[in-house]
Structure 1
């Protein structure tokens, strides 16, 4: 577990942006696909619809749209970027990094550092921390950090446990000196003994893709939902409490809680266990489902654009995902 505190912080939030595909998939649509009802899906997840990418859309396309929105808000051009990070577990392809695709399409100059980070749904928080630390020591003033995933491409139509939960999307932030919000501290942790709770069995060097693995559906995403919920209760909720305590912050001082949008019912339980009122909990899960690494930045961007963030407000970002992993970030509005 690693915590980065205020003594190391230089990065501020210059702009945020997000993008979700236009293709709406309702509970009725997905219920017919996996053999359940729209009422049952909503009762168990609080999700009513999600967005799935069109056939011609890849992760980089979603990432580009979110990046442009964040850069427009920040007033930063591609020529000013020194670092581009993309957090994703559904890259365009195994190689090259999706971040290189994004940097090239944006028109970032040759020499811009660009790479991917895969901590599954915690990836954005990990990338945010890496970008902040690199800005502290680098000869560049601006970093672009994106969380983007297209989970609809790796969902099994026979698995109602996962197919009803996931949507596609991308969220982005431009970091630099100054800005509307300042990073106060972040904490990153992995719990590798629980790595089997979430995964895609085939497609890598352990189980290369073959006709047989395709027939067996081993390239589809799998998740032990009960195990993930237990992990959140055992590690994430106590981890958030400890993180806040280490920063001298009480849960009631948090003005805006932006958790990973894994499941709406689980979010309500998390907020209650932390003592953070639901009215302070930002959500997009009802409209977009679980968008993987995009979940936190998409929700954060919607919060920022709502006008609800006031000067000196404390904002808590909290992500968890495969690995298992946890990424936390505390920010103060300025």
Structure 2
């Protein structure tokens, strides 16, 4: 008798935003005290962002991940002890090491000694994590996984640089992926090109107990925009081709929530109506690896995304990295 093929399916989603919501006007007022000029109109026109959330000083990335994970576990209706794999996508870990995933495992009080590790692909991190976990579940090595995107980007922003500090926010999103005989994650595509490392980076490193170089995020906005709109369409089509689907069969597009102009450009190139794109950037800002799972959870909980629908996720970030996955929810 032939053995049933193993797939990975989404059982539940969860998300968390810190309570400190900062509007464009509040941020502009704060920056004005530092001699930095910006305005609500300037930010909205260039990004589509109206507000973002910043973690409190005592909140860590693993703290945000914990709440999102607890909500995903509750939505999935599983025993946390059944989770045998935790993967956290983050560029803002609590420590140099151990991984945020290990810290999260401890905070969830999971005692089964399942694997836990971080993925660092910046804003593509969640797409990388989903593809990695899907492969591990399909191989039979793991059965139930917690996949998280969590960031505290406010910690690495230079508030004297209005071109970057107005873009980012903090938050976390999580999904439970479990082994299933029914297809869930249909296909993924991942890419990177390290020759573009300098256009989006935080180049500092620890040396002798202090940060050597800059610990702030640096970005060449124009270069990032040009590269993003090119690779996002290509990787989306690649993932859809692997899944044997056409763009027209996509029920929901969930792009990385970086900039509304990049998002709508990708949507248009795929021939999708903007009504099929989940947009949270206006309220969340760019939460890097957390942006896709945050948007996914919002659309699941408000009833837009329904069982059996095709969801296309895609992200692009520093590295330069980019990736996409096609999911039958």
Task: From 264, 274, 277, give the equivalent of 2:260.
Answer: 264
| SS of equivalent to 2:228 | helix
TM alignment of 1:14-25, pairs within 5 A: 14-25=11-22
C-alpha separation between the residues in 1 aligned to 2:25 and 2:209? 33
Q: Which runs of 5+ in 1 are unaligned?
A: 1-6
| SS of equivalent to 2:322 | strand
Change (3 A) 1:138 1:177: closer
C-alpha separation between the residues in 2 aligned to 1:310 and 1:292? 25
Residues 136 and 142 in structure 2, CA contact (< 8 A), matched pair in contact too: no
Q: Equivalent residue for 1:331?
A: 327
Report the count of equivalent residues: 321
Q: Equivalent residue for 1:114?
A: 116
Change (3 A) 1:328 1:211: closer
Q: Equivalent residue for 2:98?
A: 96
C-alpha separation between the residues in 1 aligned to 2:19 and 2:103? 22
Task: From 236, 251, 256, give the equivalent of 1:255.
Answer: 251
Change (3 A) 1:132 1:212: closer
Superposed CA RMSD in Å reads 2.0
Q: Kindly state the Cα deviation for residue 324 of structure 1 after the two structures are TM-superposed.
A: 0.7
Q: Give me the TM-score of the superposition, normalised by structure 1.
A: 0.91
Change (3 A) 1:110 1:331: closer
1:313 aligns with 2:309: yes
Task: From 297, 300, 312, give the equivalent of 2:293.
Answer: 297
Task: From 132, 139, 148, give the equivalent of 1:146.
Answer: 148
Between 236-245 and 36-45, the greater mean CA deviation after superposition: 236-245
Q: Kindly state the Cα deviation for residue 209 of structure 1 after the two structures are TM-superposed.
A: 6.4
C-alpha separation between the residues in 2 aligned to 1:243 and 1:219? 34
Change (3 A) 1:212 1:145: closer
C-alpha separation between the residues in 2 aligned to 1:157 and 1:22? 20
Deviations 1:240-260 (A, max 9, x none): 223323433221221100000
Q: Give me the TM-score of the superposition, normalised by structure 2.
A: 0.92
Q: Equivalent residue for 1:3?
A: none
Between 101-110 and 28-37, the greater mean CA deviation after superposition: 28-37
C-alpha separation between the residues in 1 aligned to 2:306 and 2:144? 24
C-alpha separation between the residues in 1 aligned to 2:182 and 2:299? 13
Task: From 217, 220, 225, give the equivalent of 1:224.
Answer: 220
Q: Which runs of 5+ in 2 are unaligned?
A: none
Q: Equivalent residue for 1:4?
A: none
Change (3 A) 1:201 1:139: closer
